Structure 1
Amino acid sequence: MHTYDFVAIGAGPFNLGLAALTEDLPDIDGIFLEARSAFDWHPGLMLDGVTIQVPFMADLVTMADPTSRFSFLNYLKQVGRLYPFYIRESFYPLRAEYNEYCKWVATSVSTIRWDTRVDTVTHDGEAYLVHAATGETFRARKLVLGIGTAPRVPAAVDQGPYVHSADYLPNKAELQQLDSITIVGSGQSAAEIYLDLLSEIETYGYHLSWITRSPRYFPMEYTKLTLEMTSPEYIRYHQALPIQTRDRLGREQRNLYKGISGDLVDTIYDTLYAKSLTGPVNTTLLTGTALTGVIWDEAEQRYTLALHHEEQDRSFTASTRGLLLATGYAPRLPSFLDPVRDRINWDARGRFDVTVGYSVDRNGDEIFVQNAAEHTHSVTDPDLGMGAYRNSVILKGITGREIYQIEESIAFQQFGAPTADLPRQLVTS
């Protein structure tokens, strides 16, 4: 049986970037297995006119190899859109445009096997055996897990025909036929869906509510010194912290990467202001309010939501026919890894114990993960702009050599206390 250098499971943006970065490397033999029949990135949220939240340089390859033929700029050139993009004068591609770019890369690389779902992974004593539902088995020395995240549904929601934001567009028309729609969530997706439904509120006549547990509608913090947290230095600093500290920071830092773009917050306000000229807008916005329970009345086709305002410590209920959960995504622990669980390091809370080099196996150089290390690598883990960096590090772990230059020090600021006392500063008057 042929033995690959690595088998990568999943072909989302991060593993797709790895496929692009290895496509033209003749001495690296890897294969990518994807259950879907083609690439499609968040189709349920492909709203007209929305942009991704990172600049175009945060494509699949540029931050590792600016000369790559798989860059976003080369895609624009190949499809005849480079000059229009230049004239547009915006660093931020449309979300649909980014999706089309990824599809272009996905059809340009030769190492992806579509319609190949992985059933189980075993180890024969020398290499990993990846068994697919097609009946095929792929043998490799290393694994790269890039299966993505799964929609997160609050524990309180266990009944009724709720819709997660991941499935918004296929369900939009049905939602708009209801007399009331409630959005639960606080991030960019919640804001985009709220604005989309708000724009047509008079046409359909529904009552639109937006409820968030956050104390306010947080804008994403996007100042330059804060952006330095997406750096190799911050990765090393955060990954070395105690697990309790990392988890606390994960809760405190959500607005750094799960907030709403400031322009979108302003657009929502301006839309509400314009619509209020002819009278009150049929909408409710509630902050600091947690969803604590749900009752679905099948006969009435209506939800009763149990809510709790945390600052006032008051509980109350709300009624709605439509419930849309913009509650984000969570890492998946795939069952296909069960036969090799004993080869993997787990933390005290049952999550991958991810090293600074993105490996999770006991040897430290066999199993690597994509977008499954937010609890160890913080804001850098889901960031599209760090994907090429991570793939450079993973490739070094797979091959033992630095194929793409890995920038280790890019921040002006220092994270953490210095290793020695700072020198006395001279003060003159």
Structure 2
Amino acid sequence: MMRCIPPSSDTYDILGIGFGPSNLALAVAVSSSGYNGAVGFIEDKTAFSWHGDMMLPGAKMQVMFLKDLITQKDPTSPFTFINYLHEQERLNSFINLRALYPSRNDYQGYFAWAADKFSHCVQYACSASMIAPIENATGEVEGFEVHCHDLRSGERTIKRARNIVMATGGSPALPCGISPQDLSARLFHSSQYLSRLEALKATEKNPALRVLIVGGGQSAAEIFQHVLHEFPHARVDLAVRNHSLMPANSSAFSNEIFDPASVDAFYESSATIKEHTLRHLRHTNYAAVDEDLIQALYGQLYEERLAGHDRARILNYHALTHVTKDDQFLDVTLRDERTQATTVNRYDTVILATGYNQQHAHRLLSGVDHLLLRHPDGSLKVARDYSLETRPSVSARLFVQGPTEHSHGLTSSLISILPFRAHDILSAASKAPDTHLHDKTALAMECI
């Protein structure tokens, strides 16, 4: 159990931007380390949330329950998934399930349970817009200031820290030709799925509505199955760029790529080997679907055809290229990737299950870009401890959780190594040189 002393200043030793699972793992690491620096977090959501619009009935996690916020580093921690189940009086029931992979709803509950223990360490509804350097009299950058916007009051403030840990999550990746401004109640990303679905149910009067889902990964397959269930008379298409839905590469040997030792090996590899590894093991993480779900969908489509129905289709080798909207319909241009021929089809709703862009954190770096070192291809140089490499005049540290696939491998956007990454970042931040930014009246985290 943690107690957070409310802040009396806006100065921190470690300031986390974003409070999803990555920085939540950092908070857990701080709580069990004895670190006595001033630590705080800001989050633009109004409360803790993790993929809330994809909490579909029956949806399972794709990682084992032991890969939680802390178990792999400290199985005795009070923040383990096992202890969460114990506190909820569901441990025996979970054991009886004989399930290695818990439901997504259960894991969301676990994260929310842990986040609630740090509620006084987090300023919710607080959005960061920019990071700027703080220089001393000799020109050394000894800290950073974060320009913040309180989304409730409208107040704009500045927070200062010696170490910034950016974990802002991914932003929706959209097909070419679709911009965020094009999104609407009938054209939306999977990150809004359940909210938009409820609105659609409330307003849609045509039981045989036409729905297009775009994407070939787990989210696309889950939504395809869910729409077929929720709208039994709808005509539903799934546009997949590849030959078919591909099963996730979840073999024991392939999954070693998510072990901490594999991060070391990947980091030390040449650029050529890194590119080869990412390409070769792509289907452990991207554009891949659990094999059980693929089998269930195939069986469902078979039964539909057996009953003489043709309301559900998987359009293989098809990519969305353009959408034209009017008040009622969406005219969608699809390109056949084999022949390059295009067709225009009319739909009532289009759902883009097209993944996430992990470069979201980079938008905050415009004010410090001149201090950052880059590779010849323009990508940021990231140290093994997840800090951005900077010019020698910078003694403060900027850490990133998420947009490091080019340097640290496929684990970067996943929860597989949360406790190891949090430990690496905390260890590095603890060694940072002390400066006058340190303010003992700032937010501190203590065990009670």
> Could you tell me which residue of structure 1 aligns to residue 237 of structure 2?
209
Alpha carbons of structure 1 residues 25 and 239: separation in structure 2 relative to 1, 3 Å: closer
1:38 aligns with 2:47: yes
> Could you tell me which residue of structure 2 aligns to residue 193 of structure 1?
223
Pairwise CA RMSD: 2.4
Rounded to whole Å, the distance in 1 between the matches of 2:224 and 2:272 is 34
Rounded to whole Å, the distance in 2 between the matches of 1:320 and 1:348 is 44
Give SS of 2:253's match. Answer: helix
> Could you tell me which residue of structure 1 aligns to residue 336 of structure 2?
309
Moved more, 341-350 or 57-66: 341-350
5 Å-filtered alignment, 1:9-408, equals 9-29=17-37, 30-109=39-118, 110-125=120-135, 126-133=142-149, 134-158=155-179, 159=182, 161=184, 162-175=187-200, 177=204, 179-202=209-232, 205-241=233-269, 243=271, 246=274, 250-251=278-279, 253-258=281-286, 259-296=288-325, 298=326, 301-331=328-358, 332-362=360-390, 366-400=397-431
Alpha carbons of structure 1 residues 25 and 229: separation in structure 2 relative to 1, 3 Å: closer
Rounded to whole Å, the distance in 1 between the matches of 2:344 and 2:279 is 26
Alpha carbons of structure 1 residues 397 and 99: separation in structure 2 relative to 1, 3 Å: same
One-letter code aligned to 2:380? F
Give SS of 2:406's match. Answer: helix
Offset of 1:349 from its aligned partner?
4.9
Give SS of 1:381's match. Answer: helix
Give SS of 1:33's match. Answer: strand
Offset of 1:160 from its aligned partner?
6.3
- The number of aligned residues is 397
> Could you tell me which residue of structure 2 aligns to residue 407 of structure 1?
none
> Could you tell me which residue of structure 1 aligns to residue 4 of structure 2?
none
> Could you tell me which residue of structure 2 aligns to residue 423 of structure 1?
none
For the Cα contact (< 8 Å) 1:365–1:397, is it kept in 2? Answer: no
Offset of 1:275 from its aligned partner?
3.1
Give SS of 1:336's match. Answer: helix
Alpha carbons of structure 1 residues 231 and 24: separation in structure 2 relative to 1, 3 Å: closer
For the Cα contact (< 8 Å) 2:215–2:354, is it kept in 1? Answer: yes
Give SS of 1:274's match. Answer: helix
> Could you tell me which residue of structure 2 aligns to residue 424 of structure 1?
none
Offset of 1:28 from its aligned partner?
3.5
Rounded to whole Å, the distance in 1 between the matches of 2:347 and 2:379 is 36
For the Cα contact (< 8 Å) 2:17–2:168, is it kept in 1? Answer: yes
Rounded to whole Å, the distance in 2 between the matches of 1:275 and 1:383 is 35
Q: State the TM-score, normalized to the length of structure 2.
A: 0.82
State the Cα deviation string for residues 146-176 of structure 1 (Å, max 9, x = none): 1111011112224463111011111114546
- List gaps (5 residues or longer) in structure 2: 1-8, 136-141, 150-154, 433-448
Offset of 1:77 from its aligned partner?
0.5
For the Cα contact (< 8 Å) 1:187–1:260, is it kept in 2? Answer: yes
Bigger RCO of structures 1 and 2 (CA < 8 A, at least 6 apart) = 2
For the Cα contact (< 8 Å) 2:218–2:289, is it kept in 1? Answer: yes
Rounded to whole Å, the distance in 2 between the matches of 1:14 and 1:75 is 18
State the Cα deviation string for residues 36-92 of structure 1 (Å, max 9, x = none): 221011111111121111011111111222111111110110111111111011011
Offset of 1:270 from its aligned partner?
1.9
Give SS of 2:284's match. Answer: helix
Offset of 1:201 from its aligned partner?
4.0
Identity %: 29
Offset of 1:350 from its aligned partner?
4.4
Q: State the TM-score, normalized to the length of structure 1.
A: 0.85
Give SS of 2:95's match. Answer: helix
Alpha carbons of structure 1 residues 150 and 244: separation in structure 2 relative to 1, 3 Å: farther
> Could you tell me which residue of structure 1 aligns to residue 444 of structure 2?
none
Moved more, 320-329 or 304-313: 304-313
Moved more, 51-60 or 328-337: 328-337
One-letter code aligned to 1:265? I
Alpha carbons of structure 1 residues 146 and 303: separation in structure 2 relative to 1, 3 Å: same
One-letter code aligned to 2:114? V
